[in-house]
Chain A
């Protein structure tokens, strides 16, 4: 890949991330981190892609394991987000009493 194209793409993505368009609001402590973790789960796509072009037995074994661990991380991240949304839907007893 052309390094210049890569640098421009990363710079634009970082600028978008820092601009506030995709950041969580300040009072939602942890939501931004959970969303970042969910984005990290997409490393699974890179792992499957690497598995499909692996040329040796060693490469196939390592990328297959990468798929396994990436799936674990992706499922954990999605589960965290699901719980976060569920908690928001059901206010705690503390909030209800106040």
Chain B
């Protein structure tokens, strides 16, 4: 039986689209429709009677160019997917920049927390913070939007973690993420991110798919094999990877993500 699946996504949809274009025969049980929209355009939509329609000219343009559709009849699909859309492990690391809690290796190693800059907070307060952050992402908002408009199963596929190339330390904006890894908190943060995201989306009736385990490096990063040659969806279409890109994954990653989706939908 072939499942009709509609995948929505932002720039990270390109990895899955590349994989699908390169070898869709790998997923005989899937029939995919992909609709990409950059930035917050996915939220510029309305759902009435199970049909999702762009509500602005910019969204209409994106739907036409990246999906070839004027509207999406959600009822015609067996399942809906949301790809990336800012549901990223890096958010866990950025919140960790000023917060520590009991159970983290870095806290166990610190004799006097009160003299340090990061604040001691409870793990539950951190989780609440992370939940609030994830719910405000494009993915969080779009999942809620979709859930209110359709009874079809919805899966949200995590955004790929940041490239492991940042280990070189040249990207100052990634210091918080690197620091989380260097002080030994990466594993805990990775686990909390996936656990929190799963709980958050389950609570609104959306299935969460974490990043494929084999693509993860240093707990919070994506291994080089899954980032080299990545394309990304831009306003102008699929764009080749610039040297400075540290966010997008490649077709090999996309293939594994689709494997995960297929397995989840078959379960």
Q: Indicate, yes or no, whether A interacts with B.
A: no
> Which B residues are closer than 8 A to A by beta carbons?
none
> Which A residues are closer than 8 A to B by beta carbons?
none
